[in-house]
Amino acid sequence: MTSLFKLNPTQRKWHLPLVAGVSVGLPLLLCYFTGEQEGGRLGALAGLSILYLQSNKLVERMMILMTCCFGILLSYCVGIWASANPLVAPLALGLHAFAVHLALHHLRLTRPPGNFFFIMIASMAIYTPFDLAHIPEKIGYVAMGTISTCIIGFIYSLLTIHQEPSTPLPEKEKHINITESIIFGIFMAISMTVAQLSQFENPYWILISCIAVMQGSNTKHVWLRGTQRIIGTLIGLGIVALISLLNPSYLFMIICIIVMQVIVEYFVVRNYAIAVVFITVLTIFLSEAGGDFEIQKILIARMVDILIGSIIGIVGGWALYHEKVHYYSTKRWKK
């Protein structure tokens, strides 16, 4: 029980959460003053790619960031085109999750947040109402968000980067990467199928919870993340309910999003349960800002979605790290 709220040591720099808040908040503030609320939300989602600053060398860091920004944009495009056909969407998301996980391992971009934001943004885009006339506009907002992220990342890197030796990551065998990618693809397709059958409003939280729980580094960690996500969500929903009593304005919600993003990035590497408390507030405000804020409906739907998604994610994590699965896959590949 103590491990649920234990703070873990980390080497993450204290100023990275601040720059993450700027990267997410800048599109929201700019679009608030221009009246483009939808554009602000899409730009803020693209701003999450700032978390892929993963090298101590300036040129290499910017190449990684720009590659990941392109991946974020591509993920949104895959999702928004897949939204045209609900029958094809689970297959499209499964193939996308497979390709993303395999590509990241091939490029050795396996440090957190890993495949999470690519799959998250594709999942959210799939549940965007398909409107062919507005697709270029929406893609443009995401593209502008990635451009602003690269600019912020470049300035931040010039001010803070130090030529320190980076710790090399252990390289997995090719067949293990392929097996893991297949499992990710299968469980993302399953979670989306369950989400569609549930007929909930905005059921992409089932998919997001599933992929978040599967980010655990081993079976025990997956179970811990699933438990932390459920407990953290309950507390976070309580905070949202309290804030909703204030009838928050759109500008107040934007400020909350920026503050919550900073807090989330501070805690996510230290304790996932505490981070999920603020992730819950952040994501609800980011998805509902400027719209009708039916708090009771949102709270019930979010809790059910996250519970279902976490259970699927725990099963997926079990498959991901089960010794027999890897034994039989290794045996198969060596034939």
Task: For the chain, give every domain's residue range.
Answer: 2-334
Q: CA-to-CA distance for 47 and 28, rounded, in angstroms?
A: 10
At 284 the pLDDT is 81
**What does the pLDDT look like over 184-243, one tens digit per residue?**
999 999 999 999 888 777 788 899 889 888 887 777 888 888 888 888 888 888 888 888
C-beta of residue 283 within 8 angstroms of C-beta of residue 212: no
C-beta of residue 53 within 8 angstroms of C-beta of residue 265: no
Percent of the chain with pLDDT over 90: 35
Lowest mean pLDDT among 72-76, 140-144, 325-329: 325-329
**What does the pLDDT look like over 248-302, one tens digit per residue?**
888 888 999 999 999 988 888 888 888 888 888 888 888 766 555 667 777 888 8
Q: CA-to-CA distance for 168 and 165, rounded, in angstroms?
A: 9
Which tokens sit at 187?
A: 């469980």
What do you get for the CA distance between the two ends of the chain, in Å? 45
Q: Is 56 exposed, middle or buried (0-12, 13-18, 19+ CB in 10 A)?
A: middle
Lowest mean pLDDT among 150-159, 286-295, 303-312: 286-295
Query: How does the average pLDDT of the chain come out, rounded?
Result: 85
